[in-house]
Protein backbone atom coordinates (compact mmCIF):
# COMPACT_ATOMS: atom_id res chain seq x y z
CA UNK A 1 0.00 0.00 0.00
CA UNK A 2 1.10 3.56 -0.70
CA UNK A 3 2.56 5.64 2.10
CA UNK A 4 1.71 9.01 0.53
CA UNK A 5 -0.52 10.18 -2.34
CA UNK A 6 -1.04 13.57 -3.98
CA UNK A 7 -4.55 14.72 -4.79
CA UNK A 8 -4.67 16.68 -8.03
CA UNK A 9 -7.94 18.41 -7.27
CA UNK A 10 -9.73 20.75 -4.89
CA UNK A 11 -12.98 21.17 -2.99
CA UNK A 12 -15.22 18.42 -1.73
CA UNK A 13 -13.76 15.61 -3.85
CA UNK A 14 -10.24 16.33 -2.53
CA UNK A 15 -11.57 16.12 1.04
CA UNK A 16 -13.46 12.95 0.15
CA UNK A 17 -10.23 11.30 -1.08
CA UNK A 18 -8.34 12.49 2.00
CA UNK A 19 -10.83 10.72 4.29
CA UNK A 20 -10.38 7.34 2.59
CA UNK A 21 -6.60 7.77 2.55
CA UNK A 22 -6.61 8.51 6.28
CA UNK A 23 -8.50 5.28 6.99
CA UNK A 24 -5.87 3.38 5.01
CA UNK A 25 -3.05 5.09 6.94
CA UNK A 26 -1.89 7.03 3.87
CA UNK A 27 -0.49 10.56 4.10
CA UNK A 28 -1.97 13.08 1.67
CA UNK A 29 -0.59 16.04 -0.25
CA UNK A 30 -2.92 18.80 -1.45
CA UNK A 31 -2.20 21.21 -4.29
CA UNK A 32 -3.66 24.69 -4.57
CA UNK A 33 -3.54 27.91 -6.52
CA UNK A 34 -2.97 31.27 -4.83
CA UNK A 35 -6.56 32.25 -5.64
CA UNK A 36 -7.69 29.16 -3.68
CA UNK A 37 -5.47 29.49 -0.61
CA UNK A 38 -8.38 29.58 1.87
CA UNK A 39 -9.86 26.29 0.61
CA UNK A 40 -10.63 23.61 3.18
CA UNK A 41 -8.83 20.76 1.40
CA UNK A 42 -5.52 22.49 2.20
CA UNK A 43 -6.29 22.33 5.92
CA UNK A 44 -7.47 18.72 5.85
CA UNK A 45 -4.41 17.33 4.09
CA UNK A 46 -1.09 16.45 5.74
CA UNK A 47 0.86 18.68 3.35
CA UNK A 48 -0.01 21.34 0.80
CA UNK A 49 1.91 22.62 -2.22
CA UNK A 50 1.15 25.86 -4.04
CA UNK A 51 1.37 25.14 -7.77
CA UNK A 52 0.85 28.67 -9.13
CA UNK A 53 -1.07 31.90 -9.08
CA UNK A 54 -4.15 30.56 -10.90
CA UNK A 55 -7.02 30.83 -11.33
CA UNK A 56 -7.83 27.37 -12.77
CA UNK A 57 -4.89 27.20 -15.17
CA UNK A 58 -2.48 25.67 -12.67
CA UNK A 59 -4.91 22.94 -11.62
CA UNK A 60 -4.60 21.96 -15.29
CA UNK A 61 -0.80 22.14 -15.38
CA UNK A 62 0.33 18.51 -15.55
CA UNK A 63 4.05 19.26 -15.27
CA UNK A 64 3.62 21.34 -12.12
CA UNK A 65 1.43 18.73 -10.45
CA UNK A 66 3.82 15.91 -11.31
CA UNK A 67 6.71 18.02 -10.03
CA UNK A 68 4.81 18.67 -6.77
CA UNK A 69 4.19 14.95 -6.36
CA UNK A 70 7.85 14.08 -6.88
CA UNK A 71 9.06 16.85 -4.58
CA UNK A 72 6.68 15.80 -1.78
CA UNK A 73 7.66 12.15 -1.99
CA UNK A 74 4.21 10.97 -3.04
CA UNK A 75 4.07 7.58 -4.72
CA UNK A 76 0.69 7.97 -6.42
CA UNK A 77 -1.67 10.67 -7.73
CA UNK A 78 -5.47 10.70 -7.47
CA UNK A 79 -7.13 13.01 -10.04
CA UNK A 80 -10.63 13.18 -8.52
CA UNK A 81 -13.15 14.36 -11.12
CA UNK A 82 -12.94 17.29 -13.52
CA UNK A 83 -9.72 19.14 -14.24
CA UNK A 84 -7.20 16.48 -15.45
CA UNK A 85 -9.17 13.38 -14.47
CA UNK A 86 -9.95 12.35 -18.05
CA UNK A 87 -6.86 13.72 -19.78
CA UNK A 88 -4.92 10.68 -21.09
CA UNK A 89 -1.68 12.68 -21.01
CA UNK A 90 -1.89 12.86 -17.21
CA UNK A 91 -1.45 9.11 -16.47
CA UNK A 92 1.25 9.00 -19.14
CA UNK A 93 3.24 11.79 -17.46
CA UNK A 94 2.70 10.19 -14.05
CA UNK A 95 4.03 6.87 -15.30
CA UNK A 96 7.07 8.50 -16.88
CA UNK A 97 7.82 10.15 -13.53
CA UNK A 98 7.54 6.85 -11.65
CA UNK A 99 4.16 7.74 -10.11
CA UNK A 100 1.07 5.53 -9.98
CA UNK A 101 -2.08 7.07 -11.45
CA UNK A 102 -5.13 6.14 -9.36
CA UNK A 103 -7.50 5.53 -12.23
CA UNK A 104 -7.80 3.67 -15.53
CA UNK A 105 -4.83 3.18 -17.90
CA UNK A 106 -4.02 5.90 -20.40
CA UNK A 107 -5.24 3.74 -23.31
CA UNK A 108 -8.68 3.32 -21.72
CA UNK A 109 -9.05 7.04 -20.98
CA UNK A 110 -7.96 7.78 -24.56
CA UNK A 111 -10.42 5.34 -26.14
CA UNK A 112 -13.40 6.20 -23.93
CA UNK A 113 -12.62 9.92 -24.17
CA UNK A 114 -13.29 9.71 -27.90
CA UNK A 115 -17.01 9.24 -28.22
CA UNK A 116 -16.50 7.88 -31.74
CA UNK A 117 -13.99 5.20 -30.69
CA UNK A 118 -16.12 4.32 -27.67
CA UNK A 119 -19.17 3.82 -29.90
CA UNK A 120 -17.19 1.55 -32.21
CA UNK A 121 -15.93 -0.59 -29.32
CA UNK A 122 -19.46 -0.98 -27.95
CA UNK A 123 -20.90 -1.84 -31.35
CA UNK A 124 -18.29 -4.57 -31.74
CA UNK A 125 -19.22 -5.88 -28.28
CA UNK A 126 -22.90 -6.11 -29.28
CA UNK A 127 -24.06 -3.28 -27.02
CA UNK A 128 -26.81 -1.12 -28.58
CA UNK A 129 -25.79 2.40 -29.60
CA UNK A 130 -27.86 5.34 -30.85
CA UNK A 131 -27.76 5.81 -34.66
CA UNK A 132 -24.97 8.26 -35.36
CA UNK A 133 -22.66 9.82 -37.93
CA UNK A 134 -18.83 9.79 -37.79
CA UNK A 135 -16.93 13.06 -37.18
CA UNK A 136 -17.90 15.73 -39.67
CA UNK A 137 -15.24 17.43 -41.75
CA UNK A 138 -15.17 21.23 -41.34
CA UNK A 139 -16.81 23.61 -43.76
CA UNK A 140 -19.28 22.92 -46.55
CA UNK A 141 -18.55 19.18 -46.77
CA UNK A 142 -19.46 18.69 -43.12
CA UNK A 143 -22.66 20.69 -43.54
CA UNK A 144 -23.62 18.56 -46.55
CA UNK A 145 -23.09 15.33 -44.58
CA UNK A 146 -25.15 16.73 -41.70
CA UNK A 147 -28.04 17.50 -44.09
CA UNK A 148 -27.92 13.97 -45.46
CA UNK A 149 -28.01 12.50 -41.94
CA UNK A 150 -31.00 14.71 -41.07
CA UNK A 151 -32.86 13.58 -44.19
CA UNK A 152 -32.27 9.93 -43.27
CA UNK A 153 -33.06 10.06 -39.54
CA UNK A 154 -35.17 13.20 -39.07
CA UNK A 155 -35.10 15.69 -36.20
CA UNK A 156 -34.20 16.28 -33.45
CA UNK A 157 -30.47 15.60 -33.83
CA UNK A 158 -27.73 15.87 -31.22
CA UNK A 159 -24.48 17.58 -32.22
CA UNK A 160 -21.70 16.38 -29.90
CA UNK A 161 -18.01 17.02 -29.33
CA UNK A 162 -15.87 13.95 -29.97
CA UNK A 163 -13.77 14.79 -26.91
CA UNK A 164 -16.80 15.98 -24.92
CA UNK A 165 -17.75 15.59 -21.30
CA UNK A 166 -19.57 17.37 -18.48
CA UNK A 167 -22.37 18.53 -20.79
CA UNK A 168 -20.07 20.78 -22.84
CA UNK A 169 -19.90 20.80 -26.62
CA UNK A 170 -23.46 19.46 -26.95
CA UNK A 171 -26.30 21.03 -28.92
CA UNK A 172 -29.71 19.74 -30.03
CA UNK A 173 -31.06 20.80 -33.41
CA UNK A 174 -34.78 20.65 -34.23
CA UNK A 175 -34.63 22.00 -37.78
CA UNK A 176 -32.24 22.25 -40.72
CA UNK A 177 -31.49 25.92 -40.11
CA UNK A 178 -30.93 25.27 -36.42
CA UNK A 179 -28.65 22.33 -37.26
CA UNK A 180 -26.23 24.56 -39.17
CA UNK A 181 -26.04 26.95 -36.20
CA UNK A 182 -25.52 24.06 -33.78
CA UNK A 183 -22.59 22.76 -35.82
CA UNK A 184 -20.74 26.04 -35.43
CA UNK A 185 -21.62 26.50 -31.74
CA UNK A 186 -20.64 22.95 -30.81
CA UNK A 187 -17.32 23.27 -32.65
CA UNK A 188 -16.56 26.53 -30.88
CA UNK A 189 -17.43 25.11 -27.43
CA UNK A 190 -15.43 21.96 -28.05
CA UNK A 191 -12.39 23.93 -29.19
CA UNK A 192 -12.53 26.10 -26.06
CA UNK A 193 -13.25 23.30 -23.58
CA UNK A 194 -11.15 20.45 -24.98
CA UNK A 195 -8.75 21.95 -27.52
CA UNK A 196 -10.39 19.74 -30.15
CA UNK A 197 -13.23 20.98 -32.36
CA UNK A 198 -14.18 17.58 -33.84
CA UNK A 199 -17.94 16.94 -33.69
CA UNK A 200 -20.26 14.12 -34.66
CA UNK A 201 -24.02 13.53 -34.88
CA UNK A 202 -26.50 11.30 -33.08
CA UNK A 203 -30.22 10.84 -33.49
CA UNK A 204 -31.79 12.49 -30.44
CA UNK A 205 -34.12 10.47 -28.26
CA UNK A 206 -37.31 12.24 -27.20
CA UNK A 207 -37.48 12.71 -23.41
CA UNK A 208 -35.06 9.89 -22.52
CA UNK A 209 -34.13 8.74 -19.04
CA UNK A 210 -30.45 8.84 -18.16
CA UNK A 211 -29.42 5.69 -16.31
CA UNK A 212 -25.89 4.65 -15.44
CA UNK A 213 -24.16 1.61 -13.98
CA UNK A 214 -21.19 1.78 -11.61
CA UNK A 215 -18.50 -0.75 -12.51
CA UNK A 216 -15.25 -1.70 -10.77
CA UNK A 217 -12.44 -3.74 -12.37
CA UNK A 218 -9.08 -4.86 -11.05
CA UNK A 219 -5.87 -5.81 -12.83
CA UNK A 220 -6.63 -9.54 -12.59
CA UNK A 221 -9.61 -9.69 -14.93
CA UNK A 222 -12.31 -9.30 -12.28
CA UNK A 223 -15.16 -6.94 -13.20
CA UNK A 224 -18.29 -6.30 -11.15
CA UNK A 225 -21.17 -3.83 -11.18
CA UNK A 226 -22.58 -1.97 -8.17
CA UNK A 227 -26.07 -1.37 -9.49
CA UNK A 228 -27.77 1.49 -11.26
CA UNK A 229 -28.31 5.23 -10.79
CA UNK A 230 -30.96 7.47 -12.33
CA UNK A 231 -29.45 10.83 -13.29
CA UNK A 232 -32.27 12.14 -15.48
CA UNK A 233 -32.93 15.44 -13.70
CA UNK A 234 -30.45 17.73 -15.42
CA UNK A 235 -30.02 21.26 -16.67
CA UNK A 236 -28.01 21.95 -19.81
CA UNK A 237 -26.93 18.28 -19.82
CA UNK A 238 -25.43 18.59 -16.32
CA UNK A 239 -26.83 16.40 -13.56
CA UNK A 240 -28.58 17.94 -10.57
CA UNK A 241 -30.20 14.99 -8.75
CA UNK A 242 -28.98 11.39 -8.67
CA UNK A 243 -30.87 8.39 -7.35
CA UNK A 244 -29.77 4.83 -6.61
CA UNK A 245 -31.03 2.40 -7.60
CA UNK A 246 -32.94 3.42 -10.73
CA UNK A 247 -36.67 2.63 -10.51
CA UNK A 248 -36.77 0.06 -13.31
CA UNK A 249 -38.07 -3.47 -13.80
CA UNK A 250 -35.69 -6.10 -12.35
CA UNK A 251 -35.12 -7.80 -15.71
CA UNK A 252 -34.24 -4.46 -17.33
CA UNK A 253 -31.78 -3.66 -14.54
CA UNK A 254 -30.22 -7.09 -14.97
CA UNK A 255 -29.69 -6.51 -18.71
CA UNK A 256 -28.27 -3.01 -18.17
CA UNK A 257 -25.81 -4.25 -15.56
CA UNK A 258 -24.81 -7.22 -17.71
CA UNK A 259 -24.10 -4.95 -20.68
CA UNK A 260 -22.19 -2.50 -18.47
CA UNK A 261 -19.86 -5.30 -17.35
CA UNK A 262 -19.50 -6.40 -20.97
CA UNK A 263 -18.68 -2.80 -21.93
CA UNK A 264 -15.98 -2.64 -19.26
CA UNK A 265 -14.44 -5.89 -20.50
CA UNK A 266 -14.57 -4.70 -24.13
CA UNK A 267 -12.77 -1.51 -23.12
CA UNK A 268 -10.18 -3.52 -21.11
CA UNK A 269 -11.14 -1.44 -18.12
CA UNK A 270 -9.21 -1.28 -14.85
CA UNK A 271 -10.25 0.71 -11.74
CA UNK A 272 -13.53 2.58 -11.17
CA UNK A 273 -15.81 3.71 -14.00
CA UNK A 274 -19.38 4.42 -15.02
CA UNK A 275 -21.18 3.10 -18.09
CA UNK A 276 -24.01 5.44 -19.07
CA UNK A 277 -27.16 4.67 -21.05
CA UNK A 278 -30.20 6.49 -22.40
CA UNK A 279 -33.62 4.79 -22.21
CA UNK A 280 -36.53 5.64 -24.49
CA UNK A 281 -40.24 5.46 -23.63
CA UNK A 282 -40.36 1.75 -24.50
CA UNK A 283 -37.49 0.92 -22.11
CA UNK A 284 -35.14 0.26 -25.01
CA UNK A 285 -31.68 1.43 -23.99
CA UNK A 286 -28.63 2.70 -25.82
CA UNK A 287 -25.01 3.17 -24.82
CA UNK A 288 -24.12 6.81 -24.19
CA UNK A 289 -20.57 6.96 -22.84
CA UNK A 290 -18.10 5.69 -20.25
CA UNK A 291 -16.88 8.08 -17.57
CA UNK A 292 -13.32 7.06 -16.69
CA UNK A 293 -13.19 8.58 -13.21
CA UNK A 294 -15.01 8.70 -9.93
CA UNK A 295 -18.22 10.65 -10.38
CA UNK A 296 -19.87 13.31 -8.28
CA UNK A 297 -22.79 10.95 -7.66
CA UNK A 298 -20.72 8.04 -6.35
CA UNK A 299 -22.11 8.75 -2.88
CA UNK A 300 -25.53 7.24 -3.63
CA UNK A 301 -23.89 3.98 -4.69
CA UNK A 302 -21.82 3.96 -1.53
CA UNK A 303 -24.95 4.46 0.56
CA UNK A 304 -26.84 1.48 -0.88
CA UNK A 305 -23.84 -0.89 -1.08
CA UNK A 306 -21.87 0.10 2.03
CA UNK A 307 -18.67 0.12 -0.06
CA UNK A 308 -16.06 2.90 -0.07
CA UNK A 309 -15.40 3.47 -3.77
CA UNK A 310 -12.37 5.72 -3.27
CA UNK A 311 -10.82 3.09 -1.01
CA UNK A 312 -11.43 0.55 -3.76
CA UNK A 313 -9.77 2.85 -6.30
CA UNK A 314 -6.67 3.22 -4.16
CA UNK A 315 -6.42 -0.51 -3.43
CA UNK A 316 -6.72 -1.46 -7.10
CA UNK A 317 -4.07 1.11 -8.09
CA UNK A 318 -1.79 -0.40 -5.46
CA UNK A 319 -2.13 -3.80 -7.16
CA UNK A 320 -4.76 -5.42 -4.94
CA UNK A 321 -7.65 -7.48 -6.34
CA UNK A 322 -11.27 -6.43 -5.82
CA UNK A 323 -12.24 -6.61 -2.16
CA UNK A 324 -15.65 -8.12 -3.01
CA UNK A 325 -17.10 -10.44 -5.62
CA UNK A 326 -20.36 -9.88 -7.50
CA UNK A 327 -22.23 -12.32 -5.25
CA UNK A 328 -21.20 -10.29 -2.19
CA UNK A 329 -22.68 -7.02 -3.47
CA UNK A 330 -26.04 -6.36 -1.83
CA UNK A 331 -28.14 -3.32 -2.67
CA UNK A 332 -30.34 -2.06 0.13
CA UNK A 333 -32.69 0.89 0.32
CA UNK A 334 -32.74 4.07 -1.72
CA UNK A 335 -30.29 6.98 -1.78
CA UNK A 336 -30.78 10.45 -3.31
CA UNK A 337 -28.10 13.06 -3.89
CA UNK A 338 -28.56 16.78 -4.55
CA UNK A 339 -25.80 19.07 -5.77
CA UNK A 340 -26.31 22.24 -3.76
CA UNK A 341 -24.62 25.03 -5.69
CA UNK A 342 -23.95 28.70 -5.10
CA UNK A 343 -26.28 29.68 -7.93
CA UNK A 344 -29.40 31.73 -8.49
CA UNK A 345 -31.99 29.45 -10.18
CA UNK A 346 -34.28 32.42 -10.85
CA UNK A 347 -31.49 34.06 -12.86
CA UNK A 348 -30.72 31.17 -15.18
CA UNK A 349 -28.67 29.42 -12.48
CA UNK A 350 -26.05 32.18 -12.62
CA UNK A 351 -23.20 31.75 -10.17
CA UNK A 352 -23.45 33.44 -6.77
CA UNK A 353 -19.93 33.74 -5.35
CA UNK A 354 -19.42 35.67 -2.13
CA UNK A 355 -18.97 35.48 1.63
CA UNK A 356 -20.77 32.70 3.48
CA UNK A 357 -21.95 34.70 6.49
CA UNK A 358 -23.86 31.86 8.14
CA UNK A 359 -23.55 28.15 7.42
CA UNK A 360 -25.65 25.66 9.33
CA UNK A 361 -26.25 22.15 7.98
CA UNK A 362 -28.64 19.31 8.80
CA UNK A 363 -27.76 16.01 10.43
CA UNK A 364 -29.31 12.90 11.84
CA UNK A 365 -29.97 9.38 10.65
CA UNK A 366 -29.46 8.70 6.95
CA UNK A 367 -27.94 12.09 6.06
CA UNK A 368 -24.50 12.51 4.48
CA UNK A 369 -22.81 15.78 3.61
CA UNK A 370 -19.79 16.13 1.31
CA UNK A 371 -18.64 19.72 1.15
CA UNK A 372 -15.77 22.14 1.44
CA UNK A 373 -17.54 25.31 2.59
CA UNK A 374 -17.43 26.79 6.07
CA UNK A 375 -18.87 29.85 7.79
CA UNK A 376 -16.71 32.81 6.84
CA UNK A 377 -15.48 31.21 3.61
CA UNK A 378 -15.37 33.43 0.56
CA UNK A 379 -16.64 31.37 -2.37
CA UNK A 380 -14.40 32.39 -5.29
CA UNK A 381 -15.81 33.10 -8.71
CA UNK A 382 -13.16 31.08 -10.51
CA UNK A 383 -14.13 27.51 -9.59
CA UNK A 384 -17.03 25.11 -9.51
CA UNK A 385 -20.08 26.56 -7.74
CA UNK A 386 -20.81 23.48 -5.62
CA UNK A 387 -21.29 24.28 -1.94
CA UNK A 388 -22.11 20.82 -0.62
CA UNK A 389 -23.45 17.49 -1.83
CA UNK A 390 -26.42 16.32 0.20
CA UNK A 391 -27.05 12.57 0.12
CA UNK A 392 -29.88 10.93 2.03
CA UNK A 393 -30.68 7.26 2.58
CA UNK A 394 -34.03 5.64 3.24
CA UNK A 395 -35.37 2.12 3.58
CA UNK A 396 -37.54 2.87 0.54
CA UNK A 397 -38.24 5.73 -1.86
CA UNK A 398 -40.87 7.46 0.25
CA UNK A 399 -38.68 7.41 3.35
CA UNK A 400 -35.75 8.82 1.38
CA UNK A 401 -37.90 11.67 0.01
CA UNK A 402 -39.23 12.51 3.48
CA UNK A 403 -35.68 12.58 4.82
CA UNK A 404 -34.54 14.73 1.90
CA UNK A 405 -37.28 17.24 2.65
CA UNK A 406 -36.25 17.41 6.30
CA UNK A 407 -32.59 17.78 5.40
CA UNK A 408 -33.25 20.70 3.05
CA UNK A 409 -35.24 22.46 5.78
CA UNK A 410 -32.23 21.98 8.08
CA UNK A 411 -29.92 24.17 6.01
CA UNK A 412 -29.36 27.81 6.88
CA UNK A 413 -26.93 29.39 4.43
CA UNK A 414 -26.79 33.18 4.34
CA UNK A 415 -24.65 35.51 2.25
CA UNK A 416 -25.01 33.72 -1.07
CA UNK A 417 -27.86 32.44 -3.17
CA UNK A 418 -28.13 28.65 -3.43
CA UNK A 419 -30.24 26.07 -5.24
CA UNK A 420 -31.86 24.94 -1.95
CA UNK A 421 -35.16 26.85 -2.39
CA UNK A 422 -35.52 25.34 -5.86
CA UNK A 423 -34.86 21.83 -4.57
CA UNK A 424 -37.53 22.34 -1.91
CA UNK A 425 -40.03 22.86 -4.70
CA UNK A 426 -38.84 19.78 -6.56
CA UNK A 427 -39.11 17.40 -3.59
CA UNK A 428 -42.73 18.50 -3.08
CA UNK A 429 -43.64 18.18 -6.76
CA UNK A 430 -46.08 15.30 -7.47
CA UNK A 431 -44.13 14.19 -10.55
CA UNK A 432 -40.95 13.87 -8.52
CA UNK A 433 -42.69 12.10 -5.66
CA UNK A 434 -44.21 9.60 -8.13
CA UNK A 435 -40.83 9.26 -9.93
CA UNK A 436 -42.22 10.58 -13.20
CA UNK A 437 -39.17 12.34 -14.57
CA UNK A 438 -36.81 12.25 -17.55
CA UNK A 439 -34.17 14.59 -18.99
CA UNK A 440 -36.87 17.14 -19.90
CA UNK A 441 -37.99 17.54 -16.28
CA UNK A 442 -36.32 20.91 -15.54
CA UNK A 443 -37.53 22.51 -18.79
CA UNK A 444 -41.06 21.10 -18.44
CA UNK A 445 -41.40 22.20 -14.80
CA UNK A 446 -40.57 25.89 -15.11
CA UNK A 447 -43.26 26.71 -12.55
CA UNK A 448 -41.00 25.29 -9.84
CA UNK A 449 -38.81 28.38 -10.25
CA UNK A 450 -41.60 30.50 -8.78
CA UNK A 451 -40.45 29.76 -5.25
CA UNK A 452 -40.47 32.34 -2.48
CA UNK A 453 -37.12 33.96 -1.78
CA UNK A 454 -35.40 33.26 1.54
CA UNK A 455 -36.97 35.16 4.44
CA UNK A 456 -35.57 38.73 4.51
CA UNK A 457 -35.36 38.66 8.32
CA UNK A 458 -32.63 36.01 8.07
CA UNK A 459 -30.55 38.36 5.96
CA UNK A 460 -31.08 41.13 8.53
CA UNK A 461 -29.99 38.85 11.38
CA UNK A 462 -26.91 37.82 9.40
CA UNK A 463 -25.90 41.46 8.93
CA UNK A 464 -26.43 42.15 12.61
CA UNK A 465 -24.32 39.17 13.67
CA UNK A 466 -21.58 40.24 11.26
CA UNK A 467 -21.55 43.73 12.80
CA UNK A 468 -21.39 42.34 16.35
CA UNK A 469 -18.57 39.97 15.46
CA UNK A 470 -16.69 42.77 13.74
CA UNK A 471 -16.76 44.72 17.03
CA UNK A 472 -15.20 41.74 18.77
CA UNK A 473 -18.18 40.90 20.93
CA UNK A 474 -19.55 37.42 21.40
CA UNK A 475 -23.29 37.50 20.56
CA UNK A 476 -23.88 34.62 22.98
CA UNK A 477 -22.16 36.34 25.92
CA UNK A 478 -24.59 39.23 26.18
CA UNK A 479 -28.09 40.03 24.90
CA UNK A 480 -28.45 42.21 21.86
CA UNK A 481 -31.37 44.03 20.29
CA UNK A 482 -32.77 42.44 17.16
CA UNK A 483 -34.48 45.62 16.06
Residue span(s) of the chain under CATH 3.40.50.20 come to: 4-102
Domain 4-102 matching CATH 3.40.50.20: the answer reads: yes
**CATH code of the domain made up of 209-449:** 3.30.470.20
Quote the pLDDT of residue 462. Answer: 63
Q: Is the pLDDT assigned to residue 456 strictly greater than 70? A: no
Listed in order, the ranges of the chain carrying CATH 3.30.470.20 are 209-449
Residues 258-283: tens digit of each pLDDT:
999 999 999 999 999 999 999 999 99
36, 60 Cβ separation under 8 angstroms: no
What pLDDT does 115 receive? 87
Mean pLDDT to the nearest integer, 7-33: 98
Average pLDDT for 417-441:
97
Q: So what's the pLDDT on residue 236?
A: 85
Domain boundaries for CATH 3.30.1490.20 within the chain: 131-203
pLDDT tens digits for 137-171? 999 999 999 999 999 999 999 999 998 776 788 99
| pLDDT confidence tier of residue 478, bands split at 50, 70 and 90 | very low
Mean pLDDT on 300-311? 98
By mean pLDDT, which of 240-249, 352-361, 473-482 is the weakest? 473-482
Residues catalogued as catalytic: 293
Residue 482 has pLDDT above 60, yes or no: no
- Domain at 131-203, CATH from 3.40.50.720, 3.30.1490.20, 1.10.580.10, 2.30.42.10: 3.30.1490.20
Mean pLDDT of 338-351: 95
Amino acid sequence: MFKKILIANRGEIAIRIIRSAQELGIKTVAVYEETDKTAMHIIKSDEAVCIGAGPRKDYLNIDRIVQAAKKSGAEAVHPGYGFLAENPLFPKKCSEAGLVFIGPPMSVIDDMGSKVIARRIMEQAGIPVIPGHPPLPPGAEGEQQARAFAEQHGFPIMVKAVAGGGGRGIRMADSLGNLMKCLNMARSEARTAFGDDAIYLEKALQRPRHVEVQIVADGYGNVIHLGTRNCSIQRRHQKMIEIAPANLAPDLIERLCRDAVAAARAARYVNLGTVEFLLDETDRYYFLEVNTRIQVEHTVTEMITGLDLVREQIRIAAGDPLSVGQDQVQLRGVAIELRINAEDPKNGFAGSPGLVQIYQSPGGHGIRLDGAVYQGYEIPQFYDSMVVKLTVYGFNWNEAVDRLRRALDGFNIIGIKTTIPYYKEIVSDPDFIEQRFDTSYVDSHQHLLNYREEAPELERIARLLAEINARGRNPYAEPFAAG
